[in-house]
Amino acid sequence: MSTVDEAVPGIPTGYKVWVFGSKLAGVLAFAVGIELLTRGEPLWAAMLLFGGATIVV
């Protein structure tokens, strides 16, 4: 099993941190979207669910 470092050498650490941070932001946006869906805010929930899923993918 190979890691990203072994598969593609030379990826800057700053880029890896940026990708990880953006994925984390997407997961948090998705979680807030679910919370807003349970509170009865469908428009905000839809926006955050779609945006969060788009960022993560």
Burial of 54 per CB tally in 10 Å (0-12, 13-18, 19+): exposed
Does a structural domain hold residue 43? Answer: yes
Does a structural domain hold residue 4? Answer: no
pTM over 0.85: no
3-state secondary structure of 57: coil
H helices within 2-41, ranges in order?
4-7, 13-38
pLDDT reported for residue 10: 80
Does a structural domain hold residue 24? Answer: yes
Per-residue pLDDT of the chain (57 residues; tens, 9 = 90+): 455 556 667 888 888 888 899 999 999 999 999 999 999 999 999 999 999 888 888
Range of the domain at 34: 19-56
Does a structural domain hold residue 6? Answer: no
Does a structural domain hold residue 40? Answer: yes
Number of domains in the chain: 1
Q: Quick one: how far is CA 20 from the chain centroid? A: 8
Does a structural domain hold residue 2? Answer: no
Is there a contact between 43 and 17 (Cβ–Cβ < 8 Å)?
A: no
Does a structural domain hold residue 39? Answer: yes
